[in-house]
Amino acid sequence: MGGRSCLGRCVEFPVGDDQLMAAKRDSWRRKSVHALEAAAAGVFYWSFWLLPVDAASGLGGWIGRTIGPRLRASARAERNLTRAFPEMTAAEIAPIVCGMWENLGRTAGEYPHLGKFKISKPGGPADPRIEIAGGEHIEHVRAGGKAAIFVSGHFANWELPAISISQHDVPLDIVYREASNKLTGWLYRRRDANVSGNLIPKGAAGARQMLKSLQAGRHLGIMADQKMNDGIAVPFFGRDAMTAPALAQLALKYDCPVVPVRIERTKGARFRVSFLAPIEFAPTGERNHDTLAFMTKINEQLETWIRNNPAQWLWLHNRWPD
């Protein structure tokens, strides 16, 4: 083993015992942390699984609003809110941060119960937890026989739009960010049981899989509100935010309808999922210009939803560069 430094010619430098020991300690520490995280996730998941849905959601919300605002991560949420709403005072921002943590806690508490959330539809459950608005738009996609892209963000319980689409008998492949802790992968697999399609990890391999999905006539579900360091700068709340361009590039290349999907928490563990009309866009043929213009429309839609109810969006992302 060795490191390599090139100054005119390459010279081998052996790695010392201290470096090897440090590397082993770091590896052991990382594995230990991952194991503890996985154990904590398991205890949390199965403890909340034992509770009724409303109790799990309520307890998760209480934990979120009680502990969340005290965590260091709250400073990031406050900073992001200040950037998005510079006219707000600290007194106005504080309840939004608290509401965000409550929503996040409820979402975590509801996670073991995702299979119990059903949509309102003819012949459906007598007491559905998900009200559907704009159902004609998803019915149009289903009847059209053309691959579409459904776009949403980290609002309310962000797992439910994909579940709602699947309950409309629309095959959906979901693009997601893999967890850094592989030991928690079983959580994704349990979620996947409630969706009719495949999970596609972000990255080069995932991009190829997205192409295959669209070419096979399958639909894609993408959350477009996260930062992508090697993306493109797109306006978001009046500031450039690094944004993944793949959604626009795929829509333009394959002429896919892009359907915005909004999820709102109406009360407790009850929701409204709204399907909007496909985004109207007339391409100019200039790829870079069209990609930026399309993603600007996407960010404008997300921003409108956030402004309408800021406490239901996840403000913990590093959305804007420092």
Kindly give the confidence (pLDDT) of every residue in the chain, 322 residues in length, as a single tens digit, with 9 standing for 90 and above: 444 333 333 444 454 566 666 666 666 676 677 677 767 777 888 899 999 999 999 999 999 999 999 999 999 999 999 999 999 999 999 999 999 999 999 999 999 999 999 998 877 788 899 999 999 999 999 888 889 999 999 999 999 999 999 999 888 898 877 666 665 666 666 666 667 778 887 777 778 888 888 888 889 999 999 888 889 999 999 999 999 999 999 999 999 999 999 999 999 999 999 999 999 999 999 999 999 999 999 999 999 999 999 999 999 998 887 6
- Count other Cβ atoms within 10 Å, centred on residue 79: 15
| Among the listed residues 160, 109, 112, 128, the one whose alpha carbon sits nearest the alpha carbon of residue 263 | 160
Residue with tokens 């709102």: 264
Q: What is the pLDDT of residue 151?
A: 97
Task: Count the residues in the chain.
Answer: 322
Q: What is the pLDDT of residue 44?
A: 81
- Count other Cβ atoms within 10 Å, centred on residue 143: 8
**What is the 3-state secondary structure of the chain?**
CEEEEEECEEEEEECCHHHHHHHHHHHHHHHHHHHHHHHHHHHHHHHHHCCCHHHHHHHHHHHHHHHHHHCCHHHHHHHHHHHHCCCCCHHHHHHHHHHHHHHHHHHHHHHHHHHHCCECCCCCCCCCCEEEECHHHHHHHHHHCCCCEEEECCECCCCHHHHHHHHCCCCEEEEECCCCCHHHHHHHHHHHCCCCCCEEECCHHHHHHHHHHHHCCCEEEEECCCCCCCCEEEEECCEEEEECCHHHHHHHHHCCCEEEEEEEEEECCEEEEEECCCCCCCCCCCHHHHHHHHHHHHHHHHHHHHHHCHHHECCCCCCCCC
Q: What is the pLDDT of residue 63?
A: 97
Q: What is the pLDDT of residue 54?
A: 97
Name the β-bridge partners of 64.
none
| Among the listed residues 290, 162, 288, 302, the one whose alpha carbon sits nearest the alpha carbon of residue 227 | 302
Q: What is the pLDDT of residue 122?
A: 79
- pTM comes to 0.85
pLDDT digits (tens, 9 = 90+) for 303-317: 999 999 999 999 999
pLDDT digits (tens, 9 = 90+) for 251-290: 999 999 999 999 999 999 999 999 999 999 999 999 999 9
The alpha carbon of 1 is separated from its chain's Cα centroid by a whole number of angstroms, namely 40
pLDDT digits (tens, 9 = 90+) for 10-50: 444 454 566 666 666 666 676 677 677 767 777 888 899 99
Q: What is the pLDDT of residue 80?
A: 96
Residue with tokens 């059903």: 118
